[in-house]
């Protein structure tokens, strides 16, 4: 269910991170090497990136497969950034939300993606939805499980929770309400990356002082890639990568 990637580091063209690598996200849309659920990610894609002097990241999203969009190659060639989050989508279920259901979702400086699926969606969301203000529910960008997961996480962030604890609490809450869900979450604010491995693959590549990449799977065969153990929270920036075990819900 989907592939995603976040990058923070030295200024790079989008294509250097997403297209040129031998198994970059672009190729993972039709030929992922480590995807456990689904085989083709053709139900939409998106990329969000940051530019100096602008507090709000830009986004480019489409409802169709990334390889069918002739404009993306041009965009990826000329746009340069020091941070991005991108995803290709394999929808949990068919829907009419189009590109609104494609990650990254956004709020302020934050970009977010969900690789996985909520089990028994949308029935499992009924109790959790009661904890959210009406304005949050009415403001859902799409009627899909990933948009709902983002609403839960963003609500915690907006009330002042730090990214790591907010993500850990969100995953634990969802896992308790919908056991068996796959909850690989990915978040960036343009400087840091926060992610969870919960039910699907997650890897990271880090060169201290230069860059950090957290992704569903390696985009090349560099031996420095490291796999993140399942049930783990990742906090990464250009300086360091920290892995913290996540507790199973009681």
Q: Is residue 224 in some structural domain?
A: yes
CATH code for the domain of 95: 3.60.20.10
Of 2, 84, 132, 195, which one is the catalytic site residue? Answer: 2
Q: Is residue 14 in some structural domain?
A: yes
Residue 181: name the closest of 112, 122, 227 by CA.
122
Q: Is residue 192 in some structural domain?
A: yes
Residue 57: name the closest of 101, 113, 110 by CA.
110
Q: Is residue 91 in some structural domain?
A: yes
What are 153's two structure tokens?
């996480």
What pLDDT tens digit does each residue of the chain (250 aa) get?
Answer: 699 999 999 999 999 999 999 999 999 999 999 888 888 898 999 999 999 999 899 999 999 999 999 999 999 999 999 999 999 998 866 565 789 999 999 999 999 999 999 998 888 888 889 889 998 888 888 989 999 999 999 999 999 999 999 999 999 999 999 999 999 999 999 999 999 999 999 999 999 999 999 999 999 999 999 999 999 999 999 999 999 999 988 7
Total count of domains within the chain: 1
Q: Is residue 250 in some structural domain?
A: no
**Can 2 be counted among the known catalytic residues?**
yes
Rg for the chain, CA atoms, rounded: 17
Q: Is residue 70 in some structural domain?
A: yes
Q: Is residue 147 in some structural domain?
A: yes
In which element (H, E) is residue 174 found?
Answer: helix 163-177
What are 210's two structure tokens?
């230069």
Domain range spanning residue 19? 3-245
Q: Is residue 217 in some structural domain?
A: yes
In degrees, rounded to 5, the angle at the alpha carbon of residue 117 between the alpha carbons of residues 26 and 234 is: 70
């Amino acid at each position: 269910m989907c592939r995603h990637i976040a990058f923070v580091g030295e200024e790079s063209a989008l294509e250097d991170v997403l297209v040129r690598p031998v198994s970059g996200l672009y190729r993972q849309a039709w030929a992922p090497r480590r995807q456990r659920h689904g085989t083709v990610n053709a139900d939409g894609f998106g990329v969000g990136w940051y530019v100096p002097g602008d507090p709000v990241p830009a986004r480019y999203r489409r409802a169709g497969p990334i390889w069918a969009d002739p404009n993306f190659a041009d965009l990826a060639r000329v746009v340069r950034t020091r941070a991005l989050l991108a995803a290709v989508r394999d929808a949990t279920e068919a829907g009419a939300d189009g590109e609104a259901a494609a990650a990254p979702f956004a709020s302020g400086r934050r970009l977010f993606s969900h690789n996985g699926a909520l089990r028994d969606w949308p029935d499992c969301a009924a109790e959790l939805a009661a904890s959210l203000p009406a304005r949050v529910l009415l403001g859902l960008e799409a009627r899909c499980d990933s948009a709902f997961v983002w609403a839960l996480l963003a609500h915690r962030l907006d009330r002042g929770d730090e990214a790591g604890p907010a993500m850990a609490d969100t995953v634990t809450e969802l896992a308790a309400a919908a056991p068996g869900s796959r909850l690989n979450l990915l978040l960036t604010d343009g400087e840091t990356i926060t992610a969870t491995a919960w039910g699907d693959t997650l890897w990271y590549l880090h060169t201290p002082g230069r860059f950090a990449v957290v992704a569903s799977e390696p985009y090349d065969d560099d031996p420095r890639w490291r796999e993140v153990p399942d049930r783990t929270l990742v906090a990464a920036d250009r300086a360091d990568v920290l892995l913290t075990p996540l507790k199973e819900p009681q």
